[in-house]
Amino acid sequence: MRISVKAPAKINLTLDVLYKRPDGYHEVEMVMTTVDLADRVDLWPLASDEIRLECSASYVPDDMRNHAYKAALLLKERFGVKQGVRIYIEKQIPVAAGLAGGSSDAAATLRGLNKLWELGLSLDELAEIGAEIGSDVPFCVYGGTALATGRGEKIALLQAPPPCWVILAKPPIGVSTADVYGNLRLHEGTPHPPTGDMLAAVRTQDFGLMCRSLGNVLEEVTVELYPQVRQIKELMAASGADGVLMSGSGPTVFALVQKEAKVQRIYNALRGFVKDVYVARILGCAEAEILA
């Protein structure tokens, strides 16, 4: 029996950092939503007591460093599972891009193994285990749209945002989330995103307000390190995007548009500038992500 699980990318509609906590983590406030750019995680039971992982992208680690491997190991040890598993990850989400690809693979592995190993855990329990792997994993366990607080692991689910197209462009650089947070200096003039307005935009399905409320406190830091991020934002805006923002710690930048006619124009403008451009839709609500 094989189980295939969809692992969608996430984008940040807002990302705010409130302060640095005594434990070293940053206290954040983020509105996140899933898009239909996704990896696929396949799981097969193994009679032997081992975890074997392969990934379609050779540059992604296939051992303990892989978040999906960590997820399997955590479940196995915590619940004394004697069976092994073979994991295959078909990568579509760009790596180290600010789209939580690794976290989503870990979450998909948790959901899939819960079924394969008949553990009967709730999503809340899986999310709690996921938080041990990374701050974005709990959101990815639920999928859909949520306000994430704490270090990102406290999830309040929201309704889906107004439907729209998302054009994502990733400049050819990998960004270390730790480096970006390390370079963040919060000061009085730091422009914080209007999280309350974004929540209102989602609640009232106001696409215009959603575009006006996009904001990411890490953008300034990443733009300083990688000026291409600003150039992509400017190109998207000049090509007719309704809203533009960098996702997570970057470097991926996304444009939101409601009219399909604009999608091709923005896509073409970007393709002359960067190779990795993707067109997706906001998924927004958690769908049945276990495919078989």
- Which residue, 108 or 211, is less far from ligand ATP as judged by CB? 108
Strand-pair category, 165-170 with 215-216: unpaired
| Site mask for ligand ATP (CB under 6 A), range 17-56, x = bound | ----------------------------------------
Q: Which of 149, 177, 231, 258 binds ligand ATP (CB under 6 A)?
A: 177
Binding range to ligand ATP, per CB under 6 A, among 88-96, 190-198, 217-225, 268-276: 88-96
DSSP 161: P
Q: Are 87 and 68 in contact (CB under 8 A)?
A: yes
Q: Which of 38, 43, 87, 100 binds ligand ATP (CB under 6 A)?
A: 100
Is 248 among the residues that bind ligand ATP (CB under 6 A)?
yes
- Which residue, 42 or 136, is less far from ligand ATP as judged by CB? 136
Is 105 among the residues that bind ligand ATP (CB under 6 A)?
yes
Is 130 among the residues that bind ligand ATP (CB under 6 A)?
no
Task: Please state, in angstroms and rounded to a whole number, the distance separating the CA atoms of residues 203 and 103.
Answer: 27
Beta strands in the chain (DSSP E): 3-20, 26-46, 51-55, 84-90, 145-149, 154-158, 165-170, 215-216, 243-246, 253-257, 276-281
Q: Which of 66, 114, 195, 239 binds ligand ATP (CB under 6 A)?
A: 66
Is 97 among the residues that bind ligand ATP (CB under 6 A)?
yes
Rounded to a whole number of angstroms, the minimum distance from the CB of residue 249 to ligand ATP is 6
**CB atoms near residue 196 (< 10 Å):** 11
Q: Are 144 and 33 in contact (CB under 8 A)?
A: yes
The order of strands in the sheet holding 253-257 is 243-246, 253-257, 165-170, 276-281
Is 101 among the residues that bind ligand ATP (CB under 6 A)?
yes
Q: Which of 60, 107, 244, 253 binds ligand ATP (CB under 6 A)?
A: 60
**Residue numbers at the binding site for ligand ATP (CB under 6 A):** 60-61, 65-68, 89, 95-103, 105, 136, 177, 248-249
